[in-house]
Structure 1
């Protein structure tokens, strides 16, 4: 009885513990579903400490840290997820794991997981970009070392980001608590809600004062990412969906982002209005104006978006109305995040992405919109980009000075604003590698110092080069899709070419161009067999018929005679020293006639061909009468020659 009681009590304790853990799991799940990622992380970590190791826990721990840009922590939990060896895990987790490994600077492991991602999603643009740029680290390195960066003194212990130019001042978004309002905590990351601040400069460009912008702009929501017209009278900014200035969620529990426009009237920001393409069902954020102020670039997950967010553009009409937003397309947008656009006066678009090959987290990329057809998306390189998030890049093209934000190590807070000076321009031209070799058609010999020219489909010269000592060439293509032609030329050879196609700016390597030696009229007295570099016309012992191997060589003689119809030749035939002189003279004459008849039978006019036999009078070696020689040595004398006589 006592034993049964003890067993019952033990079962009760186990049941209570299990129920308690289930409640913990439910609480963690609810927090995660409510986007309360910071408390969800704590709850999930408590469950792991209690021995839980479920797939959904590791997934959500990875995601919660990933969405908070804690990539090293996210990598740990994604790693544990894949240690479970669970089948049918969404390939998106493979991609995120590959991305987070970069934050640990483990690029080799990251590339292995990216190759797994390519196998799982071959048509994904991120997989395609990786496949097209397997040397992305070398390409990034080539663009590195072009910036001098410095952490700004205005940064706080929390998040400061999204700088924008406003005359001599800098407008930015921050989670700092001003002390004037009660502290508002956002459970996504346990940080204060974002507000807009202004940093003023002195005459030397130092920021000396930081002030919170008007309460008309800063509400009980997030405000960030501003853009201003040149006259300073119109402002575009990002704000959470709100109801009478208060934080508002949709039916899925998400507070979407929207872009607003405000007008400066009598020194106050007024007439604040939503842009007409906002919607409660998706986010629109991070506005950027072009130089003419007739286009607004922004990030959104509106219908037509490929990834988590894409870059869009919309026309601003003369009456301040807007056109229809247009997605910037697959060259820029991937299935991941493209966000924080900035457009320069020369139409270079800078944006942040974790879908293009980078160093980890969000990297800053650029593309020349004037060259969209043949242009390429370029990573701006270190030290501006690193293993963490680098974003909200802006630059003054005249001074080459600008600002960006990053959560890299060594900062004051979660995100810091950094100033930079660009010391070397970014090469935005698309460079496609065109490589191959030039060979001799007959011998296969690699030909050094051959001139090589690349032509596009309109027969315009794209680039030129020469082969090196090993017969290899390298040239730059222009990245346009279509057919191209490589033409090689070298003295004593006819020009040769090779046509190939390029798609999506991929390199074209392994191209082989073969050149045939140029055939020129031979001088009088020349033996065409030697001139054309062909095998001699040999005969069997005591025979005068044309052998099959001889016909192969005669084809080149025929080609020469057809190419130069004014040339006349005399066929001169010979024997070895065996048999008597008279017989050998008769035999050689028959060999000469047989050879001449063969040429005539192949279409060469009879008046161009003569023949003569020389018996054993012109031996090529010492195998005269009475001299012991091998069969091979005697064979060298049984031959026909083609001597140019006119």
Structure 2
């Protein structure tokens, strides 16, 4: 973003409000505190030329370049500063600059350092969980065709909100505005553009002075009827600002305003009730039904510098209590530029989630009151620069994203895109039914197990017998379904690229497992030469526990069998250990030890008598447990 939006939409971070370290740096520090990063970088550079540099000067120079997104120079000076300091946040930013410059291996080394210093930081946790995330993002394929828009200027242009056939952007192309010291560009205004029949756009039109002031204005969003516009503006206009006693710099917040359509223009601008002189609110996005506004804020109680929030829009047009979207969406970094699309997908930009460098666009969706896993939109929407202000018409499958990537016309450009393929997420609709009545079962537990056997989520079915999960495309998973008085089931779900996948699971009564004098579970297999209970074995043994809880008079003997590998005496001992571990598992679930006994059979009762030519599958069939009813149960009552 050339970090112009770090002022506008990250807002004057308090960490930049530095006092002079000494007389040598006084001038540069004052320029830095005023966010005049171009001038400050020149002043710090002169100190280096004069031999008056130390880790502080190198770090400040790196910060200047970081804030105007000169990644090459920022990388250079962070590296120099880190020769004599080990500040974790500086290491993180150094990693980001390396990544932005395509030095992924070196970036990961710095992330390892950062993670070791701040192991509980969200960014460190995410990296440790998935250190090889970059190839996955780069290899997932191009889902969009992205083109630089023809209306970009040599200044900063970003946004892309469509309302009643017009496109609205924020731009610093208005040369009549004063330049701002951050990057020597004019203050931002809101412009509208009309589209020609050939798809090109007419010249940008500056909105009226009720909307644009001599201060910064930013992104816009509209009510569903198009009669109300919400937008960001600096609080200077409201005469709300603080003045630093040392640097004499005035610090403003970002506020949200709304304007009402009057004829063909906009009027009656009002400040929203959630504005506060103590924090910023910005980047509005109104839901399709007009009932909810999403926005970014650094209000107290968040997880990072800026977080994504939502607030209800009341019938009188005022906003209700803001709600933080939680730690799954928000990190200790920056989350900004939310956009809620017509199908309920939330897109936003972040430098806290794992990405390609700078800010990347991510997406998620709210299901059953919870946010689905956060996904990186991938290339070419994302680059190793800052990518932000993503909007999309889900029906037309086209939209806009802004970026300061290489090859643009200005410091930030708007890019038009066309969606080529579905984003690779699949909504799994698991419906659980009673096999006999075909009625839905409410309250059944449905677990989602990934390809590595990890249970990643568990949900209860609703009144319609449905539990919903979001998985990645082409991902093979398994559903584990359990319900009291029913036989639990596992169902494999093959990977697909479809947007939705319906899976129906029918459950039988638990009594169906009782056949004559045995309880017939799926085979309880053990690994070769092992006697510990595996996750697969536990799933089956829980059925035995359920039956024994339902029939308290039931007494069972567990027998364990081995394959033919090993001596007979060794196999007898091994099967005895397996039988005992099986019994111990059942007892650990609350079953009286007097109701279940164990017996090891060794290799004396093979299920597959294959001699010395057994396949691994046949060996596994022979490594099993069986459950014999001694007394009690429905068959004996």
The answer, yes or no, to whether TM exceeds 0.5 is yes
Superposition map of 1:104-503 within 5 A: 104-178=101-175, 181=176, 183-243=177-237, 248-251=241-244, 253-370=250-367, 373=370, 375-429=372-426, 433-435=450-452, 454-455=479-480, 459=488, 461=490, 463=492, 495-496=523-524
Q: CA deviation at 1:435?
A: 2.3
* Contact 1:342-1:349 at 8 Å conserved across structures: yes
Q: CA deviation at 1:265?
A: 1.9
Q: Mark the CA change 1:221 to 1:36 in structure 2 (over 3 Å): closer, same or farther.
A: same
Secondary structure (helix, strand or coil) at the match of 2:105 reads helix
Secondary structure (helix, strand or coil) at the match of 1:496 reads coil
Q: CA deviation at 1:137?
A: 1.5
Q: Output the CA distance in 2 between the equivalents of 1:264 and 1:65.
A: 41
Q: Output the CA distance in 2 between the equivalents of 1:104 and 1:248.
A: 37
- For residues 504-534 of structure 1, the C-alpha deviation after alignment (integer angstroms, 9 at most, x for no partner) is xxxxxxx78689xxxxxxxxxxxxxx99848
Q: CA deviation at 1:325?
A: 0.6
* Contact 1:364-1:390 at 8 Å conserved across structures: yes
Q: Mark the CA change 1:342 to 1:495 in structure 2 (over 3 Å): closer, same or farther.
A: same
* Contact 2:79-2:94 at 8 Å conserved across structures: yes
Q: Output the CA distance in 2 between the equivalents of 1:365 and 1:111.
A: 20
Residue 610 of structure 2 corresponds to none
Deviates more, 1:300-309 or 1:390-399: 300-309
Match status 1:30 vs 2:30? yes
Deviates more, 1:348-357 or 1:263-272: 263-272
* Contact 1:239-1:257 at 8 Å conserved across structures: yes
* Contact 2:215-2:237 at 8 Å conserved across structures: no
- For residues 46-88 of structure 1, the C-alpha deviation after alignment (integer angstroms, 9 at most, x for no partner) is 111222331211222222222222222221111111122x3xx
Secondary structure (helix, strand or coil) at the match of 1:122 reads coil
- For residues 252-288 of structure 1, the C-alpha deviation after alignment (integer angstroms, 9 at most, x for no partner) is 7322111101111233322211111111121111100
Secondary structure (helix, strand or coil) at the match of 2:193 reads strand
* Contact 1:241-1:249 at 8 Å conserved across structures: no
Q: Output the CA distance in 1 between the equivalents of 2:294 and 2:575.
A: 72
Q: Output the CA distance in 2 between the equivalents of 1:364 and 1:371.
A: 24
Secondary structure (helix, strand or coil) at the match of 1:369 reads strand
Q: Output the CA distance in 2 between the equivalents of 1:72 and 1:550.
A: 66
* Contact 1:143-1:380 at 8 Å conserved across structures: no
Structure 1 gap segments, 5+ residues each: 1-20, 438-450, 467-475, 479-491, 499-510, 516-529, 538-547, 560-601, 604-646
Q: Output the CA distance in 2 between the equivalents of 1:134 and 1:361.
A: 17
State the structure with more CA Rg.
1
Q: Output the CA distance in 2 between the equivalents of 1:296 and 1:171.
A: 18
Q: CA deviation at 1:371?
A: 6.3
Q: Output the CA distance in 1 between the equivalents of 2:386 and 2:575.
A: 72
Deviates more, 1:364-373 or 1:381-390: 364-373
Q: Mark the CA change 1:429 to 1:54 in structure 2 (over 3 Å): closer, same or farther.
A: farther
* Contact 2:34-2:181 at 8 Å conserved across structures: no
Q: Mark the CA change 1:145 to 1:532 in structure 2 (over 3 Å): closer, same or farther.
A: closer
Match status 1:50 vs 2:50? yes
Q: CA deviation at 1:554?
A: 11
Secondary structure (helix, strand or coil) at the match of 2:424 reads coil
Q: CA deviation at 1:386?
A: 0.6
Q: Mark the CA change 1:432 to 1:39 in structure 2 (over 3 Å): closer, same or farther.
A: farther
Q: Output the CA distance in 2 between the equivalents of 1:381 and 1:184.
A: 37
Q: Output the CA distance in 2 between the equivalents of 1:550 and 1:162.
A: 71
Q: TM-score, normalised by structure 2?
A: 0.66
Secondary structure (helix, strand or coil) at the match of 1:318 reads coil
- For residues 476-519 of structure 1, the C-alpha deviation after alignment (integer angstroms, 9 at most, x for no partner) is 9x9xxxxxxxxxxxxx9962379xxxxxxxxxxxx78689xxxx
Match status 1:79 vs 2:79? yes
